[in-house]
Structure 1
């Protein structure tokens, strides 16, 4: 598992033990171990692992967002408000536990059906998360595994890519070819130029986005392929020198900072 940043905030085991005593619940051992080792954060850019929250679903109990009259539903409508949320997805789904229910509850945002997710207490919590990634997000092996810890210090610089009318395209299929001295015609070409110019620790690219990770940056550079213009530098303040080097490169390639 690649760490986006070494700056993380593990949750104290005593804090979790006090929570269990207060709310009469035993948190899943793999989940608790994950929090005490890594702290809260986002796994693979899709699943957010959070400290246990016993109140979040109480506000949803009266809205009848999920069906409970089916015998296959693992919890009743009353139990919904008693659930403890331990995670969520960037799409708004919830991952929760209930003191009287074995396993993990998946409460989807775009469906009325609550399902159970398998939990093996003998395996790392990341195994459970990867099952969810395959089941709910159709992630197919192999996929990059990375964890982005929650950080109060990490910040971002946002830019807009605006190539001139004279921009020309070139074929990036051969990475050893010299980079032409012309403006990149698209954000995809800009990303390939960036890849040739900088040594990254992890490179993730698909039809929607491209992310270039730097351990020294404590973050990454994101090229928004879907939008076609947005570029973001996510970094920690201590990495300002590398940030400025990356910023200078992007500005020379027709990106301007969004104030």
Structure 2
């Protein structure tokens, strides 16, 4: 698995033990082990591992967002007793309940709550990968990376403003004829970046491109869907590399958003 940054914010084991005593619940061992070693963060860009939250679902209990028939693993009353331990970028919740064996998946855009089994002997990321396959249709191999929450991480946002013609577009790689004559576009910009900087992990699809650099403690994001947005996510200690990347992008017709 690729670690976006080594600046973790682990949760103290004593804090989790105190939480369990206070709320009368035993947190899944793989989940607790992950938190005490790496802390909260995002896995594969889709699932967020969070500190346990006993209050979040109480606010949803009165809205009847999910059905609670005989097939539902929890009752409407138990909903408010659930502890949220994770979520998805789509707004789904991953939770536990003291009287339910397994994990509860509460979907944002559906009414059926499902139960997710997990192996107490396996890493928590194995359970998350099962959820990725079940709920997001992810088929292996898919890029495995963890982005820890970092209070100090910074971001620079830019807008890509390409010239009208390819002839006006100055190439960063003079010997690359293909990129020289290609229409100015954000995917071409990403390819220029790839040839100029050695990324440790490269993820690209029709919507987005992420170039991870371990020495940056973050990544450069090219928003293909929007066609103009570029972002540099970095740790402050990597300001020299950030400035080098920023200079490159500015020469390639990107302007900082103030």
TM-score of Structure 1 vs Structure 2, range by shorter chain: over 0.9
**Higher-helix-fraction structure:** 2
**How far apart, CA to CA, are the structure 2 residues paired with 1:163 and 1:232?**
16
Q: How far apart are residue 178 of structure 1 and its match?
A: 5.0
Q: TM-score, normalised by structure 1?
A: 0.94
Gap change, CA 1:245 and 1:183, over 3 Å in 2: farther
Match of 2:9 in 1: 9
- Aligned to 2:216, the other structure's residue is in SS state coil
Match of 2:233 in 1: 234
> Unaligned regions of 5+ residues in structure 2, if any?
170-174
**How far apart, CA to CA, are the structure 1 residues paired with 2:248 and 2:92?**
38
> Unaligned regions of 5+ residues in structure 1, if any?
171-175
Match of 1:254 in 2: 253
Match of 2:172 in 1: none
Gap change, CA 1:223 and 1:80, over 3 Å in 2: same
Gap change, CA 1:180 and 1:53, over 3 Å in 2: closer
The answer to whether the Cα contact below 8 Å between 2:182 and 2:188 also exists between their aligned partners in 1 is no
The answer to whether the Cα contact below 8 Å between 2:166 and 2:180 also exists between their aligned partners in 1 is no
The answer to whether the Cα contact below 8 Å between 1:159 and 1:256 also exists between their aligned partners in 2 is yes
Q: How far apart are residue 167 of structure 1 and its match?
A: 2.6
Q: Is the counterpart of residue 53 in structure 1 residue 53 in structure 2?
A: yes
Could you tell which deviates more after superposition, 184-193 or 106-115? 184-193
**How far apart, CA to CA, are the structure 2 residues paired with 1:208 and 1:169?**
26
Deviations 1:119-169 (A, max 9, x none): 110111000000011111111110110000000000100001110112369
The answer to whether the Cα contact below 8 Å between 1:40 and 1:51 also exists between their aligned partners in 2 is yes
Match of 1:173 in 2: none
Deviations 1:191-235 (A, max 9, x none): 001101110111000111000001110000000011111000000
Match of 2:151 in 1: 152
Task: Give the number of equivalent residue pairs.
Answer: 253
Q: How do 1:203-222 residues align onto structure 2 when only pairs under 5 Å count?
A: 203-222=202-221
The answer to whether the Cα contact below 8 Å between 2:165 and 2:183 also exists between their aligned partners in 1 is no
**How far apart, CA to CA, are the structure 2 residues paired with 1:202 and 1:258?**
26
After superposition, the CA RMSD in angstroms is: 1.6
